[in-house]
Amino acid sequence: MSAELDPGLVGGIVRAALEEDRAFDDVTTLATVDASLEGRAIFLAKEAGVLAGMPVAAACFQALDPRCRLEQQVREGERFDRDAVLASVSGPVRALLQAERVALNFVQRLSGTATLTRAFVDAVAGTRAVILDTRKTTPGLRDLEKYAVRCGGGMNHRRDLAAMAMVKDNHREAIRREGRTLAEATAAIRAIRPSVAVEIEIDGLEQLDEALEAQPEWILLDNMPVAAMAEAVRRVGGRAKLEASGGVRLESVRAIAETGVDAISVGALTHGARALDISLELAF
CB atoms within 10 A of CB 180: 13
**The pLDDT of residue 22:** 98
Residues 6+ apart with CB under 8 A from 161: none
Q: Do residues 86 and 172 share a domain?
A: no
Q: Do residues 141 and 106 share a domain?
A: no
Q: Do residues 49 and 93 share a domain?
A: yes
**The pLDDT of residue 284:** 80
Residues 6+ apart with CB under 8 A from 6: 143
**The pLDDT of residue 1:** 57
Residue 77 to residue 152: CA distance in whole angstroms:
6
Domains: count for the chain? 2
Say how many residues make up the chain.
Answer: 284
Low-confidence stretches of the chain (pLDDT < 50) are none
Q: Do residues 85 and 172 share a domain?
A: no
Q: Do residues 152 and 260 share a domain?
A: yes
Coil vs helix vs strand at 5: coil
**The pLDDT of residue 64:** 98
Give me the domain span that covers residue 94. Answer: 7-121+273-282
Q: Do residues 128 and 226 share a domain?
A: yes
Active site residues: 101, 136, 168, 201, 222
Residue 2, domain member (yes or no): no
Residue 96 to residue 210: CA distance in whole angstroms:
59
